[in-house]
Amino acid sequence: MALNGVFYSLMILAFLAFFVSRFLTLKTVKGDIRRLHSRPVYYGLNSLFLTVFPAVILLIVWSFAQSILIDEKVKQQIPENFITEDAPLNLIMSEVDRLSEGLKQLVDQGTLSATKVENEDSELFGIEDKLESAGVFLSSSISPEVLSASRSKFAMEAFGSSTRNWLAVLVSVLGFFWSLKNSTAEFRARNHVERITLFLLGTAATLAIFTSLGIVLSMIFEALRFFGMHPWTDFFFGSTWAPSFSAGSELSILPLLWGTLYISFVALLVSVPIGLYSAIYLSEYASKPIRAIAKPLLEILAGIPTIVYGLFALTTFGPLLRYFFGDGGFLGVEWMSDSRSVITAGVVMGMMLIPFVSSLSDDIINAVPQSLRDGSYGLGATQSETVRKVILPAALPGIIGAILLAASRAIGETMIVVLGAGAVAKFAGNPLEALTTITTRIVSQLTGDLEFDSPETLVAFALGLTLFTITLGLNVLALYIVRKYREQYE
Amino acid sequence: MKDQTYLDRESNLTPGISKISAKNVNVYYDDVQALKDVSVEIEKNAVTSFIGPSGCGKSTFLRCLNRMNDTIDICKVTGQILLEGEDIYDPKIDPVQLRAKVGMVFQKPNPFPKSVYDNIAYGPKIHGLANTKSDLDEIVEKSLRRAAIWDEVKDRLSSPATGLSGGQQQRICIARAIATSPDILLMDEPCSALDPIATAQVEELIDELRENFCVVIVTHSMQQAARVSKKTAFFHLGSLVEFGDTEKIFTNPNDPRTESYITGRIG
């Protein structure tokens, strides 16, 4: 039985379970709903959950366990002397995976029969052509060892999956019949359904947390591998970023950090005043019709993908700057040699952050109670005095939080700097010169076909981890400040 | 001639002692009329109270007196309100200057999230009432003393006013309002968020303020109106039903609606 067969069976069983148990329960009270403990729909749902969930859990757990167990078995089948320096175990295993996957595809297409794969060795020589026509490409010709391992993997998988599928349907049927005995008026179906729902909600929340935890852990392990190959003193305290894949790379984060912070600073210099002023205008001065038009227009900026901002920096804003400050340009100065520069990336990133700052600040300013404005106006303060002396001080912690959130976005921003900032890693002060950032270097270190086993590629994880630590710190600080501010009015 | 007719109508008032005179004031929120044809004379150095059931327009009228309704977009005011003979809705009048003369205390205590000192000093600073720091200190102390809260806060002038109790906060707001030395003090249910002890303190304070200010108070408590005010206006459904000496309103009202309200039959 194939997996989609299982899904159809489960769907039919679930459908049956819902209506049958609802019908049976209603029958026990002769249609008088008031004598039931719960509304009829809960009896149906309770049956449905019992029919579906144990089977689904079995499917998931079995699949994980199966792939781990089969992998272990296949590894044991590969002869010791077959493993060499050139062909380490993990390469052989991936070859085996590809081949067994290919066999499965051929069987699914009907080109090959499953019994042949499992029993008749000889039939399989020369199936490379067949595999290729099915879209499976192998790196080398198939060796007997790999073939036999793939065959046994295929056989074990086929057996395991079909057992799993039949078992799942069986569990589902059992669950269905078992749930029918709960079709009585006294059964507290609502409580059961609510408990299961609660469990589902909890699982959803836990999954999100575990995912982020997994990301952090994987970064930490890869970063540790990097620090095993490269001195951490050079990474944190060196002065040069010069990766070379031959040998003797100098991989220091400091020049990259300088570029990152410099460009983020320029971005904040652009976005904070403009964003804040537009928030003040929108929340305090704009009339209703203007606000209704201006606020969505401003927020359109937030919906533009950052790669588009990057293109704008590369093709429009950078060349424009160069037209003014570049060689033979409008001003006759030679301050800018390339259209990529700190200013190019920083200003465009600032534009991207304007709606971010303005909509957060706008929310915060709107959260300042009207009674404070009334109090200030009631004392004869003008609107600008009220904004400057009452509203902004009251909203300040929240605005600082918004700025920190914007800063952490600026530091983590990638596409604009990839296209607009350049690739020169150095400590330069001239904002019209090209610099590079942490995110840009991560992209360039990992572009192309690479194996993750040299310090030049693994450095990306150390860079990423540092970046993550910085932005996490900023976010935590921002949330702390915003939360502290919120308590004031509650 | 104009004065003559008006004297005929409100024979118990003489123009000489009236501070504010409102004539035929109508207020609309969009299409809804909140106030209908209200005419009132408010005396100098006396407490006038506005009573009436919720939604009767008494707060709306109070907010007309210092043009606080200007901050509400949909609000439209017609009619004439004279403050010492000057029309406050004249385009030449700057509402900011008007509000410096007509202070206001709100229903809910609304101290700024600043220190006690900065709360009181806010008005004097923006109006430039103090040239030196010691002048400002003096104004702050005087205002806090008059609001009967100096003794409670003199040791914590630099701590945030939002940390005080509700009654203390309200007295801080009163001190803040009198620090700009207004001529008139408008109070919109100043005791509705306070307990009986704090209410008693605020009432005592109102009684003292009467000597220097013209106080207008909106209240839901008829006992409070009877205790603190010299004149009382009864509003009902957006109209001014009756206006006169407090004693008369509470003992021998002219209008049957007033009587029903103060005896608790409507409201």
ipTM for the predicted complex comes to 0.85
Extended strands (E) in A253-358: none
pLDDT tens digits, A108-142: 777 777 776 666 665 556 666 667 666 666 666 67
Domain at A241-489, CATH homologous superfamily: MetI-like (1.10.3720.10)
From A303, A223, A236, A266, select the one nearest A410 (Cα to Cα): A266
pLDDT tens per residue across span B131-176: 899 999 999 999 998 888 898 999 999 998 988 888 889 889 999 9
* Cα A58 → chain centroid: 27
- So what's the pLDDT on residue B207? 87
Question: What is the structure's pLDDT at B205?
Answer: 85
Lowest mean pLDDT among A384-393, A478-487, B49-58, B70-79: A478-487
Bridging pattern class, strands B231-236 and B86-87? unpaired
Domain ranges of chain A: 3-187, 241-489
The whole-angstrom separation of Cα A2 and Cα A162 is 7
A153 and B CB contact within 8 Å: no
Chain B residues lying within 8 Å of A386, measured CB to CB: none
For tokens 């793939």, the residue is A150
Sorted by where each starts, the structural domains of chain B and their CATH numbers stand as 2-262 (3.40.50.300)
Residues across chain B: 267
A327 CB within 8 Å of a chain B CB: no
Give mean pLDDT, residues A370-375: 90
A179-236 residue pLDDT tens: 888 888 888 989 999 999 999 999 999 999 999 999 999 999 999 999 988 888 888 9
Q: Is A378 on the interface with B (CB under 8 A)?
A: yes
- Please give the average per-residue pLDDT across B54-68, as a whole number: 89
Looking at residue A94, what is its pLDDT? Answer: 80
Give the DSSP H or E segment for A294. helix A288-303
pLDDT in tens, A395-418: 888 898 899 999 999 999 888 998
Report which DSSP code applies to A242. Answer: E
Top pLDDT among B53 and A118 is at: B53
Please give the residue of chain A at the shortest CA–CA distance from B96. A380
Give per-residue pLDDT as tens, B204-257.
Answer: 888 888 888 899 999 988 889 999 999 999 999 889 999 999 999 999 898 888
Q: What is the pLDDT of chain B when averaged over all its residues? A: 86
Question: What percent of chain A stands above pLDDT 70?
Answer: 91
**What pLDDT score was predicted for residue A328?**
73
Q: In sequence order, what are the beta bridge partners of A326?
A: A336
Tokens 């005043």 -> residue: A273
* Predicted confidence (pLDDT) at residue A267 exceeds the cutoff of 70: yes
Identify the burial level of B259 via C-beta atoms within 10 angstroms of its C-beta, where 0-12 means exposed, 13-18 middle and 19 or more buried: middle
Short-list B171, B177, B189, B172, CA closest to B225: B189
Dist. CA A259–CA A425, nearest whole Å: 7
Average pLDDT over residues A255-268: 94
Q: Which residues pair with A242 in a beta bridge?
A: A250
For residue A64, report the phi and psi dihedrals to the nearest 5 degrees: -60, -50
Q: What is the DSSP track for chain B?
A: -HHHHHHHHTTT--GGGEEEEEEEEEEEETTEEEEEEEEEEEETTSEEEEE-STTSSHHHHHHHHTTGGGGSTTEEEEEEEEETTEETTSTTS-HHHHHHHEEEE-SS----SSBHHHHHHHHHHHTT--SSHHHHHHHHHHHHHHTT-HHHHTT-TTSBGGGS-HHHHHHHHHHHHHHT--SEEEEESTTTTS-HHHHHHHHHHHHHHTTTSEEEEE-S-HHHHHHH-SEEEEEETTEEEEEEEHHHHHHS-SSHHHHHHHTTS--
Residues of B in contact with A371 (CB under 8 A): 106, 108, 110
Name residues whose C-beta falls within 8 Å of residue A480's C-beta, 6 or more positions apart in sequence: none
CB B234 within 8 A of CB B249: yes
Q: What residue has token string 């709107």?
A: A366
- Read off the tokens for A193: 């359904």
Q: Which amino acid is at A89?
A: L
Which one, of A400, A391, A401, lies nearest residue A367 by Cα?
A391
pLDDT digits (tens, 9 = 90+) for B177-205: 999 988 899 999 888 877 888 888 888 88
What is the arrangement of strands in the sheet containing B75-83, beginning at the earlier edge strand?
Answer: B86-87, B75-83, B18-29, B32-43, B239-245, B231-236, B47-51, B214-218, B184-188, B102-105
Using the beta-carbon criterion (under 8 Å), do A379 and B126 form an inter-chain contact?
yes
Q: What is the pLDDT, as a whole number, of residue A485? A: 66
pLDDT value of residue B4: 41
Q: For a pLDDT cut of 70, what percent of chain B falls above it?
A: 93
**A105 vs A476: which has the higher pLDDT:** A476
Instruction: Please say whether the beta carbons of B110 and A369 come within 8 A.
Output: yes
Instruction: List pLDDT tens digits, range A31-66.
Output: 888 888 888 899 999 999 999 999 999 999 999 999
What local confidence, expressed as pLDDT, does residue A340 receive? 87
Question: With contacts defined as CB-CB under 8 Å, which chain B residues touch A374?
Answer: 68, 71, 104, 106, 110
User: Which candidate, B39, B194, B40, B176, places its Cα nearest to that of B118?
Assistant: B176
Q: Which of A88, A89, A85 is nearest to A76 (CA)?
A: A89
- Summarize pLDDT for A426-451 with one digit per residue, the tens: 888 888 888 899 999 998 888 876 67
| pLDDT confidence tier of residue B5, bands split at 50, 70 and 90 | very low
Residues 459-488 of A with CB under 8 A from B: 488
- Please name the member of B99, B127, B176 whose beta carbon is closest to the beta carbon of A377: B99
Residue-level pLDDT at A287: 87
* A62-71 long-range contacts, CB within 8 A, separation 24+: A62/A160, A62/A164, A62/A167, A62/A168, A63/A164, A66/A157, A66/A160, A66/A161, A66/A164, A70/A153, A70/A156, A70/A157, A70/A160
| B104/A378 touch (CB, cutoff 8 Å), yes or no | yes
Chain A interface test: which of B63, B64, B71, B187 (most A C-beta within 10 Å): B71
Give the type of residue at B123: G
For residue A241, what is the enclosing H or E element?
Answer: strand A241-242
Residue B25 has pLDDT above 50, yes or no: yes
Put simply, the answer to whether B71 touches A394 (Cβ < 8 Å) is: no
- Which runs of consecutive H residues, i.e. helices, occur in A29-143? 40-77, 89-109, 114-119, 128-133
Residue B100 has pLDDT above 60, yes or no: yes
- Three-state SS for A388? helix
- Is A371 in CB contact (< 8 Å) with chain B? yes
**Nearest chain B Cα distance for residue A382, angstroms:** 6
Establish if A377 touches chain B: CB-CB under 8 angstroms: yes
Asked if B67 and B251 count as a contact pair (C-beta separation under 8 A), the reply is: no
Q: What is d(CA A198, CA A191) in angstroms, rounded to the nearest whole number? A: 10
Picking from A129, A39, A386, the residue whose alpha carbon sits closest to that of residue B123 is A386
Q: What pLDDT sits at residue A141? A: 66
- As a whole number of angstroms, the distance between CA A334 and CA A330 comes to 10
Paired sense of beta strands B18-29 and B75-83, if any: antiparallel
How many CB atoms neighbour CB A424 within 10 A? 16
